[in-house]
Amino acid sequence: MAQMSATDRIDVSIEHKRAAPDDQGAGAHPNTCPACGSHYRDEELSRHLRVCPQCGHHFPVRGPERIAQLADEGSFEEDETHLRSSDPLAFFDLKPYSERLAEAEISTGLGDAMITGAAAIEGLPCRLAVMDFSFMGGSMGSVVGEKFARACEHAAEDGLPLVSVSASGGARMQEGILALMQLPKTVCAVEELHDAGGVLISVLAHPTTGGLLASFASLGDVLLAEPGALMSFAGPRVVAQTTREKLPDDFGLAESNLRFGHIDQIVPRAELRPTVARLLRLFGGA
């Protein structure tokens, strides 16, 4: 066997570099920023409202934490906590729908993907309807539609503005046509709220897609969005595969929607509470 010369030596040194955001696998810590790779402790990230202080990336926020960020301390009173989805279609994919519901309730501590109730923001009374993406991707089934419709009714009866925060993958496929029926149902609920002189302030968080975007999330008197939030009926990958065209880098993002006039303002999370309070004062006499 020929001897290896000095010039044939194999380089076994390891190049150390921070992995690019796209290189972070599914096992990455949930508090690792996907935009810049910075790492945070839970309490540190919570202190910054779950926004990366290095690059401004907005991490997802659970429904209860979102309410704590928006509402005055101790002011929120949840309602409609007894509502639960049934399984009229006896839907089964890899497991029964009823089992998926039970797992989601245990893991999140919620009855479904929307939390509703009365609250105050900077001393101004209002109604809240906040979605939680961690409950089955924030999908809208019959309970979410019913909760939102009742939130509109309570807001109209009490003469209070309704503030909704959306984060959803769309209609819940396990409920089939019953989930799709929630689109016209929630649209009619917003129309009745407006007929009663009420106001809807809609906040779109990441992601707001599918049936949510095609129904009440887009019908607010004022539409606010968080930076970088995806807001499109279908995701960019699906659109690109369907059209076979290269899409702009910001396709479907809040920034693109603002440019085309689909929303009124992009509001960083730290400014969301004072911005909503300012709108409540503006619409207080409505």
User: Residue ranges for the binding site for Zn(2+)?
Assistant: 33, 36, 52, 55
Tokens of 246: 């290269």
Token pair 């897609």 in the structure block, residue: 209
Cα R_g (the chain), whole angstroms: 22
CA atoms of 132 and 92, how far apart (whole Å): 23
Q: Tokens 């089992």 sit at which residue?
A: 99
Count the helices and strands in the chain (H runs, E runs): 10, 8
Q: Which H or E run includes 125? A: strand 124-131
For the annotated binding site, the residues are: 33, 36, 52, 55
DSSP string, 95-145: SBHHHHHHHHHHHH--SSSEEEEEEEETTEEEEEEEE-TTTGGG-B-HHHH
- Give the chain's largest Cα–Cα span: 92
Q: Write the DSSP symbol of residue 116.
A: E
Residue 127 buriedness (CB in 10 A; 0-12 / 13-18 / 19+): buried
Cβ-count burial of 5 within 10 angstroms (0-12 exposed, 13-18 middle, 19+ buried)?
exposed
209 DSSP β-pair partners: 232
Concatenated DSSP letters for 142-180?
A: HHHHHHHHHHHHHHHHHT--EEEEEEE-SB-GGGHHHHH
